[in-house]
Amino acid sequence: MDNLSRSIRENYLRTLDVIANAARSAGRDPQSVKLVVVTKTQPIEVVRAAIEAGVMTLGENYPEEGVMKIQSLREFSAVEWHMIGHVQSRKAQLVPGNFNLLHSLDSVKLATRLDRFCSEAKRKLPVLLEFNVGGEESKSGWMAGDETLWPLLLDEVAAVIALPNLQVRGLMTMPPLGSDAERLASRPFFQKLGRLRGYLAGQFPQTDFSELSMGTSGDYEAAVREGATMVRIGTAIVGARHYE
């Protein structure tokens, strides 16, 4: 194992320990939380080093970049690739044949296109529904900041659930950035996503809403304490992003 892989492995194991401690402090099984290591904008050599360091679940934000990495690292067939960023409708075709899970399904329009491409590829795509619980105009996702308006979401959620080639598995959010070191400001938004999950599960009891994807490098401990089943962490494990 080279120095880069060793460094990533140390960060990875340290992060797993933090997740485990946060889970236990909330009375949860640490194994109930999956760590998705985010490698967006990282070069292939960093992604390869992460896999060699033991990382088995990788998250990408951009379909074309993700597909390039998947194709370049095909020898690592056991690795799960998650699409965690906003997917433009015109790039939806890249998702079904390449990614194991989409975290960021944010519209019926995108869902309908994905369903068609899944049908053509003869596969089912597990998805998470992205909700904007902070009410920020700059964020993707169904607007869900006002809990009194949640009933207005039901028709569109039902339309997604009805698509035969998508498998709803839960919810995802990106809360507003907090100002303090531990991003404790995120906790109310994580709590709100948990309440929304409970509300939707009550409305659609036959649908699987077991997954909650929330928490990044600055606030993942709070996310785990509030019920996250997936945390998306990049910088704390593989370092700062690389840009062209």
Q: Which residues pair with 81 in a beta bridge?
A: 58
Would you say residue 167 has pLDDT above 70? Answer: yes
Q: For residues 112 and 127, what is the distance between their CA atoms, to the nearest angstrom?
A: 13
Positive or negative, the Cα torsion across 24, 26, 27, 32? negative
State both tokens at 179. Answer: 């100002």
- Comparing CA positions, the residue from 167, 151, 179 lying closest to residue 208 is 167
Structurally, the chain folds into a number of domains equal to 1
For residue 62, the enclosing domain spans 3-238
Residue 85 resides in a domain: yes
Percentage of residues in the chain having pLDDT higher than 70: 95
Q: Assign 3-class secondary structure to the chain.
A: CCHHHHHHHHHHHHHHHHHHHHHHHCCCCHHHCEEEEECCCCCHHHHHHHHHCCCCEEEECCHHHHHHHHHHCCCCCCCEEEECCCCCHHHHHHCCCCCCEEEEECCHHHHHHHHHHHHHHCCCEEEEEEEECCCCCCCCCEECCCHHHHHHHHHHHHHHHCCCCEEEEEEECCCCCCCCCCCHHHHHHHHHHHHHHHHHHHHCCCCCCCEEECCCCCCHHHHHHCCCCEEEECHHHHCCCCCC
Phi/psi of residue 153, nearest 5 degrees: -85, -15
Residue 243 resides in a domain: no
Q: What pLDDT is attached to residue 138? A: 77
pLDDT tens digits for range 105-150: 999 999 999 999 999 999 999 999 999 998 887 788 999 999 999 9
Q: What pLDDT is attached to residue 65? A: 97
Question: For the ranges 30-44, 100-114, 172-186, which has the lowest average pLDDT?
Answer: 172-186
State both tokens at 59. Answer: 């998250």
pLDDT tens digits for range 177-188: 754 544 567 899
Residue 150 resides in a domain: yes
Q: What pLDDT is attached to residue 135? A: 82
Q: What pLDDT is attached to residue 179? A: 46
Residue 244 resides in a domain: no
Q: What pLDDT is attached to residue 240? A: 84
Tell me the CB-side half-sphere exposure of residue 234, using CA atoms within 13 A.
15
Of residues 176 and 187, more confidently modeled = 187
pLDDT tens digits for range 74-87: 999 999 999 999 99
pTM for the full predicted model: 0.95
Residue 28 resides in a domain: yes
Q: For residues 209 and 204, what is the distance between their CA atoms, to the nearest angstrom?
A: 9
Would you say residue 20 has pLDDT above 70? Answer: yes
Q: What pLDDT is attached to residue 178? A: 58
Residue 67 resides in a domain: yes
Q: For residues 129 and 242, what is the distance between their CA atoms, to the nearest angstrom?
A: 28
Q: What integer best gives the mean pLDDT of the chain?
A: 94
Residue 189 resides in a domain: yes
Q: What is the CATH number of the domain that holds 132?
A: 3.20.20.10
